[in-house]
Amino acid sequence: MNRLAQLDHRYVWHPFTQMRDWLRREPIMIVEGRGAVVRDARGREYLDANASIWTNLHGHHHPKIDAAIRRQLGKIAHCSALGLANEPASRLAERLIKAVERGARSAERLQLWAPEPERITGGPGGSADDSQSPIADRQESVAGSQPPIATRRSPIANPQSAVRNPQLVKVFFSDDGSTALEVALKLAYEFAHRTKRTRQPRFLSLQGAYHGDTVGAVSLGHIDLFHRAYAGLLFKSEALMAPYCYRCPFNRAQPERADARDYRKCRWECVGNVEQRFARQRKKGSPYVAFVLEPLIQGAAGMIPQPTGWLRRVAEIARGHDASIIADEVMTGFGRTGQGNAECGTRSAERGTGNVESGPIASQRVLRSSDFGLRTSDLLFACHHEGVQPDFLCLAKGLTGGYLPMAATLTTRAVFDAFLGEYREFKTFFHGHSYTANPLGAAAALASLDLLATLASRRARRRLETALREELQSLWALPNVGDIRQVGLIAGVELVKDWRTREPFDLRERAGIRVCEAMAKRGVLTRSIGNVIVVMPPYCTTPAQVSRMVEALHQACEEVFGRSAA
């Protein structure tokens, strides 16, 4: 065994890994990478088909990001953000706020959303005007006194929308996705205490949710396999039905060889469910203070995409019940959700098989940014695709282009203001990490944002999204492929015993793991989530490389399950 591999075996404990299995074989020891290719210690090359666990955007060893880090290294690698400011972090905070503003403006231009009117009362969102504190307004609007959704409609921009969208004006830096969520959670909790006098703020998140591995983030999670063992350590949060069309109990359609969002037959019962949950909780006198969700697609839940319009509708409901929206864009941020998700999931409901008219919310033709072509490619954040601006936006993974651990939680002026006071009042947000606002990470992030803004990057992303969509079609020929779900540059392929029955593999059969091992033999690296194979390449991946990734998946399925046609 390679000397480095021996060291690993002797000393390293790997995350989310059964170490008994790990110790049975020589690990793939990565020593370098360039673009979408990584090379191991034995000189073998692999395509990085999960972008190094969903972090890498522009490829490995990118000259622009490398140079930015080197430049920063020539100045200083790290200094504390406790009591000091630093150059790249200050610039990055501005860039992030501006990027969100730009996305929001694009959505507004396309009439995808309605910004919050100035001095509207009752919402967790801040005022559009930096000089104006909405705190005083908020005092009149203690939970329970909110008017119903219809009467709270914003009069501007988009007559279709009842979503009141706040502006995000402040950035709190931390280290990774989990800590970005911890920050949002603590801020939302304390914000509810201070402004709504909520004694025990309650949080709602989605079934199958995964928001990280720190204890607060785990409390928001609902994956039994990961979370059950720690139940005693956690606070209680509630799980809301996720719109998992492929396995939705309300979907009356027989399986087809297509994305389940497109052939489903339902009446948007999942949205009705959301309305009921919020209403019930409010009736009990302890309304939810925040709804935590991944917009457009849930990642670790199994790449579960939301049908077009779901996000907008549930955001309207949450706002109507005065709950903050915490958008976890740790996976979806920075262009991952692309623009080409056109119309996925609207068809059946609007064909008349569903009955949205008599559903919980009036039927609307909900537009996604994908309806407007390349013009919208500056929508870097998934929530803007449906014109939703959250109160807390959590970013990590791709923030530094996949180079360094760094995260950011963006929030509103109202939340920020709730923590202002004289020192002796102790309203300070007592939270932070040693590496908060790390200058090297911030320098990498600035370079990554520069790259994302180039026409070349937009074109590459568009090309990649199309290539991925076209290549994935070949997998429908496999009887063990039940569903293929793509949102932009993210794809999940759900493996089943037989596509006609949707019968899942028992996790103990390790179907997903075995397929990934067979892909690795063919020079393609990815990880499964249970029975779902993830294909999420770096943006620099060429159509030919995408073709090799999907071909490896095809052949791996045939090796593991045998060669029969669907």
Ligand X SMILES: Cc1ncc(COP(=O)(O)O)c(C=O)c1O
Q: Which residues bind ligand X (CB under 6 A)?
A: 176-178, 181, 210-212, 294, 299-300, 328, 330-331, 396
Q: How far is the CB of 406 from ligand X (least distance, A)?
A: 10
- Kindly tell me which of 182 and 465 has the beta carbon lying closer to ligand X: 182
Q: How far is the CB of 223 from ligand X (least distance, A)?
A: 11
Helix (H, G, I), strand (E, B) or coil at 457: helix
Q: Give min distance, CB of 211 to ligand X, in A.
A: 5
**For ligand X, the closer CB: 104 or 330:** 330
- The torsion defined by the Cα of 389, 394, 398 and 402, in degrees rounded to 10, comes to 170
The residue (of 59 and 212) whose beta carbon lies closer to ligand X is 212
Reduce the DSSP state of residue 297 to 3 states and report it.
strand
The answer to whether 88 and 443 have CB atoms below 8 angstroms apart is yes
CB of 212 to ligand X, least distance (A): 3
Chain-centre distance for alpha carbon 1: 38
Exposure letters 449-458 (e unless 16+ CB within 10 A, then b): bebbeeeebb
Residue number with CB closer to ligand X (207 or 353):
207
Of residues 5 and 223, the one with the C-beta less far from ligand X: 223
Indicate the burial class of 229 (C-beta count within 10 angstroms; 0-12, 13-18, 19 or more): exposed
Which whole-number Å values give the CA distances from 405 to 43, 173, 235, 397, 526, in the listed order? 27, 11, 27, 7, 20
Question: Amino acid identity of 119?
Answer: R
- Residue closer to ligand X by CB (options 16, 426) is 16
CB of 467 to ligand X, least distance (A): 24
Q: How far apart are CA 171 and CA 94, in angstroms?
A: 9
Judged by beta carbon, residue 331 or residue 415, the one nearer ligand X is: 331
Q: Measure the CA–CA gap between 351 and 362, rounded to whole angstroms.
A: 16
Q: Least distance in Å: CB of 521 to ligand X?
A: 25
Give dist(CA 313, CA 317) in Å, integer.
6
- Helices 543-561 and 455-472 sit at what angle, rounded to 10 degrees? 30
| CB of residue 179 to ligand X, shortest distance in Å | 7
Nearest residue relative to ligand X (C-beta): 177
Smallest Cα–Cα separation from 24: which of 1, 53, 48, 52?
1
Cβ proximity to ligand X: between 189 and 372 the closer is 189
3-state secondary structure of 291: strand
Q: Of 178 and 531, which CB lies nearer to ligand X in the complex structure?
A: 178
Q: How many CB atoms lie within 10 A of CB 43?
A: 7
As measured in angstroms, the least distance from the Cβ of 53 to ligand X is 7
CB of 199 to ligand X, least distance (A): 28
Of residues 128 and 529, the one with the C-beta less far from ligand X:
529
Q: Are 328 and 182 in contact (CB under 8 A)?
A: no
| Distance, CA of 127 to CA of 139 (rounded, Å) | 14
CB of 188 to ligand X, least distance (A): 16
